[in-house]
Amino acid sequence: MAIEAGTRLGRYEVLAPLGAGGMGEVYRARDSVLEREVAVKVLPEGFTHDPERLDRFRREARAVARLSHPNILELFDFGTEGDISYAVMELLEGPTLRELVGRSRLGWRRAAEIAAAVADGLAAAHSNGIVHRDLKPENIIVTSDDRVKILDFGLALVVEPTKEDAATASLTPAATEPGRIMGTVGYMAPEQVRGRPVDNRSDLFSLGCVLYEMVGGQRAFGRDSAPEVMTAILREEPPRLSGSGAVVPAPLERVISRCLEKRPEKRFQSASDLAFDLRAIVTDSDAPVAASHIRAAAPRRRVLWMAAAGLLIVAAVTTTWWMRSRSSTTPNDAEVVAVHAEEPALDPLRVVVMRFDNQTGDPSLDSFGLMASNWITQGLSRIDGLKVVPTSSVLQIYRAAASGGVEGSGGDDPVRGLAEATRAGTVISGSYFLQEADLYIQAEITDLSRGEIINAMEPVVGARDAPMDLIESARQRIMGAVATHFDARMDLSLMSSPPRLDAYREYIAGIELFGSDTPEAIRRLERAVELDPDFAAARLWLGMACWWSGDRARAASTFRQSEGQRAQLTSYERLFIRIASAFNESRYSEGLRDAREALDLAPSDGLMTFQVGILALMLNRPHEAIEALTDFDPGLVPSRE
């Protein structure tokens, strides 16, 4: 229905039409209360005359309104005026991605940056249980100030837990009709084409189609008719981008291919992982956790603590020294054989996540435990070098167990029972409970191959009515704890707590860029601190990078901020802050005293030994300097040129 200028819909005055689509007509309007211009979408007539459909849209609109993400079009209001139902959104100025692609083929770097921003928005939606289902170039806008926004959640659905028995509960889309196809031909995932239930990975397939088109200048599944397109999505692979004449780095082509996998389990399992990989390609950084950094479960040694301080001395030995120390801490064959001889049935690099226990006393929250374990499992599968037991396999074991636990020599210990049933040496278990309106998740990571607790995590708290936010926060903490535990570059005994995985990855990227591209290293370390303000290692290295770039004032400010975290830090971390500040302010005597004390806490820490030697040298104490630096190779120090 066409609406004339001057028509009032509640407090909004229609000014002019902006466009129309299958989900309604859009108008420029003025908010008479806040005195600003907005976009008003008038919904199709079927919404108003179908109470069930209107109620569903309201529910989904409320969910979208909670997102408040910079890469998602903001929804302000929803209302009815007579027979007209409408939604009020922020007004954006700029072309859609369809218009941009129509003008010229985008360069691969620009395309990857846009796709990463879209993935960020999808990650926020998915963490709130919202699947877009209609991602395409027409629903992505690049504003005049270069912001990327996802539009039109008109076909979105809110993923809700089913009301099955908790032992067999699974995630299914709410209000999805079997056999009904929802989406746009050419951008639908295979499961959408078949009319089957969708999840967050369906959106990633659609984003892969969009990214393919941005880079290659043609659709991934371009055919002459809709039936042919749908057949191609189900059965055919898109033409290789390298044959389209586009300049596409091999890592980017691999990312796109993974998005376009026919089977959801072979795609990226989360939008945040996709966004991270895209940015790593743009910055030419090998940011993901590399398999060469994963260590077997051998006796933990004092390896390099890469959460050092902001010192020139520490900065001088980053990459090469790091590589040397990593290789020196890798267990030899005899150690590995000895470990596996003790527990031949359990593989420490094989990880299984138990269904989290409901301790709320509310049976309606039973399925939350499976939601949490399934989401955590998907995230862990993205850590290179680990073998993660699928949630479906865990459910089969639960169903086969007479008492709801796991049969086997584990006896009454369900953790050991599940470990033995899956041959997983690392088990993640947990529970959740309520305190007033807040929901808490508590997790424990156990190394059954060695019989020790890796990490008993502090509870993560969130609002009961936003469960996916809480699950995502807990997932990042658990993934960070697992990744750092198996990373030979980290000595967790010197750290107060493991970081979030997304922050840890930015941190590692910043470390690897240090010296070769210090401004980008600073940006990545800033991002790590932003993602996890409690990540002391990232803040300390940020101070070091600022010092290395010549910004002494910012380095001092960063160290002061670290000092403000004293209550959360280990003794070793507090000493590093003091050493960093002392060195930055040329208080070498105090720095040497603290470095000696830190070395008592970490006798085999190579960087601290080197630091003691340099500080002694600067204080004209040659004997102490020589003793500390005897095994150090000066050729490892990179030039500041």
pLDDT at 48 > cutoff 50: yes
pLDDT at 301 > cutoff 50: no
Over residues 220-242, mean pLDDT: 89
pLDDT at 89 > cutoff 80: yes
pLDDT at 509 > cutoff 70: yes
Q: Tell me the pLDDT band of 234, cut-offs 50, 70 and 90.
A: very high
pLDDT at 2 > cutoff 70: yes
pLDDT at 255 > cutoff 50: yes
Kindly tell me the sign of the dihedral angle through the C-alpha atoms of 190, 191, 194, 198.
Answer: negative
Q: Report pTM.
A: 0.46
**Residue at 231: amino acid letter:** T
Assigned token pair, 518: 């210090």
Higher confidence at residue 569 or residue 594? 594
Kindly tell me the sign of the dihedral angle through the C-alpha atoms of 82, 87, 90, 96.
Answer: negative
Cα angle value 386/389/395 (rounded, 5°): 165
Q: Tell me the pLDDT band of 257, cut-offs 50, 70 and 90.
A: very high
Q: Tell me the pLDDT band of 346, cut-offs 50, 70 and 90.
A: confident
Q: 76-80, 150-154, 321-325: lowest mean pLDDT where?
A: 321-325
Report pLDDT for 250: 85
Distances (CA, A) of 128 to 60, 214, 239, 504: 11, 28, 35, 23
Over residues 78-99, mean pLDDT: 87
pLDDT at 357 > cutoff 70: yes
pLDDT at 212 > cutoff 90: yes
Distance CA 572, CA 20 (A): 61
Over residues 230-254, mean pLDDT: 85
The alpha carbons of the chain give a radius of gyration, in whole angstroms, of 27
Which residues lie closer than 8 Å to 570 by C-beta, 6 or more apart?
Answer: 494, 495, 496
Instruction: List, as one string, the DSSP characters of 585-626.
Output: TT-HHHHHHHHHHHHHH-TT-HHHHHHHHHHHHHTT-HHHHH
Which residues lie closer than 8 Å to 543 by C-beta, 6 or more apart?
Answer: 309, 310, 554, 555, 558, 559, 562, 580, 584
Q: Which residue has the tokens 């996890």?
A: 532
Over residues 326-335, mean pLDDT: 40
Residue 83's region, left for phi above 0, alpha for psi from -120 to 50, else beta, is alpha
How, if at all, do strands 148-150 and 171-173 pair?
unpaired
Q: Tell me the pLDDT band of 210, cut-offs 50, 70 and 90.
A: very high
Contact indicator for 352, 424 with CB cutoff of 8 Å? yes
Q: Which helix (H) or strand (E) holds 548?
A: helix 536-548
Higher confidence at residue 479 or residue 169? 479
Over residues 160-172, mean pLDDT: 35
pLDDT at 167 > cutoff 50: no
Report pLDDT for 348: 84
Distance CA 41, CA 61 (A): 12
Higher confidence at residue 551 or residue 314? 551
Report pLDDT for 607: 62
Over residues 337-362, mean pLDDT: 73
Over residues 554-571, mean pLDDT: 73
Top-confidence range, 80-94, 249-263, 524-538, 613-627: 249-263
- For 161, phi then psi, to 5°, come to -70, 145
Q: Which residues pair with 8 in a beta bridge?
A: 13
Report pLDDT for 137: 93
How, if at all, do strands 424-435 and 357-358 pair?
parallel
pLDDT digits (tens, 9 = 90+) for 52-75: 777 767 766 776 777 778 888 888
pLDDT at 627 > cutoff 80: no
Top-confidence range, 370-384, 552-566, 587-601: 587-601
pLDDT at 438 > cutoff 70: yes
pLDDT at 434 > cutoff 80: yes
Over residues 21-48, mean pLDDT: 82
pLDDT digits (tens, 9 = 90+) for 513-530: 876 788 888 998 999 888
pLDDT at 424 > cutoff 70: yes
Q: 162-171, 198-207, 358-367, 553-562: lowest mean pLDDT where?
A: 162-171
Contact indicator for 294, 349 with CB cutoff of 8 Å? yes
Distance CA 7, CA 13 (A): 6
Over residues 380-406, mean pLDDT: 72
For a pLDDT cut of 70, what percent of the chain falls above it? 76
Report pLDDT for 489: 55
Report pLDDT for 207: 96
Which residues lie closer than 8 Å to 408 by C-beta, 6 or more apart?
Answer: 417, 420, 421
User: What is the average pLDDT value for the chain, to the nearest integer?
Assistant: 75
pLDDT at 259 > cutoff 90: yes
Q: Where are the beta strands (DSSP E) in 178-299?
A: none
Q: What is the dihedral of CA 196, 202, 205, 206, to 10 degrees?
A: 100
Q: What is the dihedral of CA 76, 100, 255, 145, to 10 degrees?
A: -50
Instruction: List, as one string, the DSSP characters of 27-82.
Output: EEEEETTTTEEEEEEEPPHHHHT-HHHHHHHHHHHHHHHTT--TTBPPEEEEEEET
For a pLDDT cut of 90, what percent of the chain falls above it? 15
Q: 97-111, 113-127, 246-260, 498-512: lowest mean pLDDT where?
A: 498-512
pLDDT digits (tens, 9 = 90+) for 541-550: 888 788 778 8
Over residues 441-453, mean pLDDT: 85
Q: Tell me the pLDDT band of 22, cut-offs 50, 70 and 90.
A: low
Distance CA 591, CA 599 (A): 12
Over residues 325-340, mean pLDDT: 39
Report pLDDT for 401: 65
Distance CA 509, CA 99 (A): 34
